[in-house]
Amino acid sequence: MGTFQASDAQIAQFQEDGFLMVEGLYDAEEMDLLLKVSKTDPEKNEMVYPTKDADGGESKLWLTADIDRDDIYNAICHGRRMVETMARAMEDEVYLYHYKMMVKEPRVGGAWEWHQDYGYWYNNNCLFPDMASCMIAVDRAYKGNGCLQVLKGSHKLGRIEHGTYGTQTGADPERVALASKHLEHVYCEMEPGTALFFHANLLHRSDANTSDDPRWSLICCYNTKHNPCDNKSGHPTYRPLEIWGDDKVKEVGRRQWESLQPV
């Protein structure tokens, strides 16, 4: 683990499709540590807040832009395999915009409406849509537990108008319906450790979790150095991002897990 380097063909696929799935970017121990730490981390548990979809279904997440902590989340967000792939995909130096854990519990995890991440970030005065995220499957993600869905190539549509549906911001349904007639609808089923890099203008959504299986995922979000934006809590302006060795995920994760054990 820690030797991944995206090929030219993979970068070309990201730029053409708006997303790139990399299977096994993180191994079983890394995901086991991340899941155990996340579920027992008292600080992060206090940060969790719910969001409701248009039908009242509830999903939970926590979000932070704290890049200075020696923890497993930052070990992933600063990791070479993550940052170098993102920088190549975006053809620019990138910095960490924020990271978040999405929590869809069995039978209760609500849907996420069709949206573009830039549909949110545009309102932070991010001048360009030159931003991207990477979703890491911590649990297995499949249709039944509400895996991510995307419209292939929709990042080329430009920013679509967004409004409020439930307590979420979503893309104009009429525009999404039009795009759906012409673009391939892809269900991104992922095993733990698989990573999905996707452009900030890619239309994506997820269904409610109607299964008995949880679906947790860590999403690392990046802006490009040349893209000015407002400096807001959880959505900062440019700060140089130190790149860490990929072995830090296990090193820091083991130490953090041990620190969370009762004495």
Instruction: Indicate which CATH number applies to the domain containing 109.
Output: 2.60.120.620
Residue 155 belongs to some domain of the structure: yes
Residue 222 belongs to some domain of the structure: yes
The pLDDT tens digits for 15-63 are 999 999 999 999 999 999 999 999 999 888 889 888 777 777 778 899 9
Distances (CA, A) of 196 to 26, 50, 80, 134, 149: 12, 23, 16, 5, 11
The pLDDT tens digits for 132-181 are 999 999 999 999 999 999 999 999 999 999 988 666 779 999 999 999 99
Residue 132 belongs to some domain of the structure: no
The model's pTM: 0.95
Residue 133 belongs to some domain of the structure: no
Residue 209 belongs to some domain of the structure: yes
Residue 262 belongs to some domain of the structure: no
The residue segments making up the domain with residue 53 are 9-121+138-257
Residue 131 belongs to some domain of the structure: no
Closest by CA to 32, choosing from 246, 258, 192, 200, is 192
**Domains of the chain: total:** 1
Residue 3 belongs to some domain of the structure: no
